[in-house]
Chains A and B, each alone.
Chain A
Amino acid sequence: MANRIRKLSQIVFLLLFLGLFLHARFPYESGWPSDIFLRTSPLAALTTALSARTWIASMLPAVILLLLTIPLGRFFCGWICPLGTVIDGSDRYLRRRKPAGRESVRFRSWKFFILVAVLCAALFSWQAAWFFDPLVMLTRVLTVSLYPAMALLTQGLFQFGFASGVAEEQWYSLYAWAQNRLLPVQSASFEQSMPVLLLFIAVLALGLVSRRFWCRNLCPLGALLGLFSRFRVFGRDVNQECTSCSLCQRRCRMNAIEDDYTITNATECIQCAECATVCKPQAISYRFSRRKNQGHIDLSRRRFIQAAATGIVGLAATRVGAGNRNETGRLIRPPGALPEEAFLDRCIRCQACVRICSSTGACLQPALTQGGWEGIWSPRAVMRTGYCEYNCTLCGEICPTGAISKLDLDAKQQRKMGTAYFDKSRCIPWYRLEDCLVCEEHCPLPEKAIRFDEREVRTPEGEMRTVKFPYVREDLCIGCGICENKCPVVGQAAIFVTPAGEERQPVGVFAGA
């Protein structure tokens, strides 16, 4: 019974997660917070608070989860975590054979190792939870890989429908509906889709080794919740009917049942209640009471020090390298981003901003090394794939950690992300002496940051001609990049935005959630 309710809960929360993900798109007005799962992660909350050296108010749900974990144990992992649910699903697919005896427990200390390393790095102001946090990982792979793939397939289906010539009007109406709710506005495509997807596939593929391999052995969020579960008062209880058949131990997806089958490892148990279901004499129940818990954490002092050292060395390793100014000089952050260091302290690379941006201007992309290795997968505006919509403030609204502050529309419309420059050797009026002005046409500033001089010139053929020569008013340009995006020159645009003159949101003016 409890097992069934748990499965239902997993499905409901996974659907909620997916629903909120799809909901993170323009106009995003309903009040449903699409970033709520991310704000529920105590790991992200703790690391960002440590690295930013400040308590981040929007992460309050994470504290609530941590407090609930003290009496209830790792129920989050078993009942709510959408990545856990996905792993349960893929485990069923990957592992047809049930283990004959107890599986090895030798990897399970790794998650504590990772947790210590991540927290130590955060203490020295390097925020690395983003690589390991399950909620971040799932949001990221959905945004960058799975959603675009879904969109491509859906569009393919519609193309098939249109081409079939059958019920064309119905296909058309259905497509109009899908365009507003399901499909991206332009085609969503991301430079980093493959690496992100491969990392995710690797996590699922670990299921070949054992069930919930990720959750048992690697997930630092699970480790953190495990630490808080040691004194839980709700959990597995075994009565005298137990025949010591060992079935519960073999079926436990977390390998949390000790060789004395009445003892449960509270840091490992995720309260999934499968053992209660499989127990033939029905000796197992889940209820409140003081029971035989075992809370040993397999991390020696030596390993603890090793972990801390790993975190700090890892931190140092990412800080060196990648100093190419041609690359870093194209790193344009979203409007409302904090100063670079503070920004990286908080950014958990969840891609929530990238996701919502892809429904409006579509300029944000996960960076590779433009911000150094330290800034990998942080959001970066690429104006040739999209541009920053003048009337849009959604990235700041959805950022769970305040790395991007929420700006009023007025403030956003004056916030300088960078400055546009002409490449006159490619710009049609400048090198070909013919009118164009697509950039000027699209410039959204009411007083136009792109203007033009109308001058008579002599062409190489000797013809006199009046041409409108565009130029940028540096003082007015906010670097939104629509000029670069719409520039009709093939390949590299003849007008491009650099972060020159960018304004960042002062730290401390951050408004929270």
Chain B
Amino acid sequence: MDRREFCKTLTAGLVLPAAAWTAAPASKLVVVRNASPAELVRKAVQALGGMSQFVKKGQTVLLKPNIGWDRSPEQAANTNPEAVAEVVKMCLEAGASYVRVLDRTCNQAQRCYSRSGIEKAAAAAGAQVRHIIDSRFKEVQLPQGVLLKSWPLYRDVLEADVFINMPVAKHHSISQYTLGFKNIMGVMGGDRGSIHNKFMTKIVDINSAVKPTLTIIDAYRVMLRNGPTGGSLADVAEKKTVIAGVDRVAVDAYGMTLFGVKPEQVEYLRLAFERGLGQLDLSRVSIEEINS
């Protein structure tokens, strides 16, 4: 441990308990293990009280999986297509007027949508699968932003009644592991590359303006190394896990533990917690673990 890290840990050790003490009532988190991708998400949402807790009859839903890469489901660079389709079904069962699925991709969009299997699976489940249209980004003020004061965000996300963030758990060299917070980059317009510099603060700035109704982390397959693109099956592990919850910081915090990372050591989570975006201390979160 170097000096810098020591100082950080020390600060965290002092600040976190204090902040946790004053934080809002305990949030709830559901972790489901050992089932098919579809069963995992269904059980997770049921344990949170069912989709009708989040989607009221006639509401519009924007579901944002990770469709960033021209990679197959086995390569685990994108959210599992069966899990995505199941969430679509649950939303429609709860009476959603429509469920729209989209992501701003990194590789060519049609390639990503088709090879990820998400286009086909989500459309078959009844979703509107849409490509990004550049003119639908809208400049949004970020009043809580520290470094970013405004950024173009996708209109469909801002206008939907319900926004479900559905990342896949992956390795990533800048954010360590990419989970819910990083997944929000898929609704950003403009030059996203520039936020990789001073990433930790900027990603929290963006997230402060986009609050998901529900965050579901797909960890059915996780990419352990060489993310976020991967490509080699040797870098993929089957964890057969799904984490779901309303508290996005808590969901990501638990997600980090899947990789053996202590949430307190992840800078963006600490910043998000300090800004009141959610609970970082998992001991203060009610966690329901389901092993099927």
Q: State the A residues within 8 Å of B (CB).
A: 26-27, 159, 162, 172, 175-176, 179-180, 185, 359-361, 389-392, 428, 432, 434-438, 440-448, 452, 456, 464-466, 468, 486-488
Contact = CB atoms under 8 A, between A and B. Distances in A.
A180 B109 CA distance: 10
Given A389-B107, A447-B232, A464 B3 contact: yes
Contact of A159 (B3, B70, B114, B135): B135
Contact of A446 (B70, B108, B228, B235): B235
Nearest to B107: A389
Contacts of B131: 176, 179-180
B228 A441 contact: yes
Q: Chain B contact residues: over half helix, strand or loop, or mixed?
A: loop
A19 B226 CA distance: 41
Contacts of B198: 434-435
Contacts of B115: 391
Given A27-B114, A361-B108, A391-B107, 6 more contacts: A390-B70, A435-B197, A441-B228, A442-B229, A456-B4, A488-B191
Interface string B81-120: 0000000000000000000000000111111001100000
A391 B172 CA distance: 21
A428 B197 contact: yes
Given A26-B110, A434-B197, A488-B197, A441 B230 contact: no
Contact of B232 (A360, A438, A446): A446
B70 A391 contact: yes
Contacts of A456: 2, 4
A488 to B, nearest CB: 3
Given A441-B196, A464-B3, A435 B174 contact: yes
A15 to B, nearest CB: 24
Contacts of A434: 197-198
22 contacts: A26-B108, A26-B111, A179-B131, A360-B108, A389-B107, A389-B108, A391-B115, A432-B197, A434-B198, A435-B198, A437-B173, A437-B174, A437-B196, A438-B193, A441-B229, A442-B106, A443-B229, A446-B232, A447-B226, A447-B232, A488-B193, A488-B196
Contacts of B109: 185
Question: Contact size class for B?
Answer: 20 to 34
B130 interface: yes
Contacts of A445: 231
B5 to A, nearest CB: 9
A369 to B, nearest CB: 30
B22 interface: no
Contacts of A361: 108
B14 interface: no
The 7 closest A-B pairs by CB, nearest first: A488-B193, A446-B231, A446-B232, A438-B193, A488-B194, A436-B196, A436-B197
Contacts of A176: 130-131
B196 A448 contact: no
Interface in B133-185: 133, 135-136, 172-174
Nearest to B109: A185
B118 to A, nearest CB: 15
B199 interface: yes
B173 A468 contact: yes
Nearest to B199: A435
A14 B191 CA distance: 41
Contacts of B229: 441-444
A154 to B, nearest CB: 13
Contacts of A488: 191, 193-194, 196-197
Given A434-B197, A437-B196, A162 B110 contact: no
A424 to B, nearest CB: 16
B53 to A, nearest CB: 27
Contact of A180 (B108, B110, B172): B110
Nearest to B115: A391
B106 A172 contact: no
A466 B267 CA distance: 14
A229 B7 CA distance: 89
Nearest to A185: B108
Which among A437, A441, A465, A488 has the greatest number of chain B C-beta atoms within 10 A? Answer: A441
Contacts of A185: 108-110
Contacts of B135: 159, 162
A185 B174 CA distance: 28
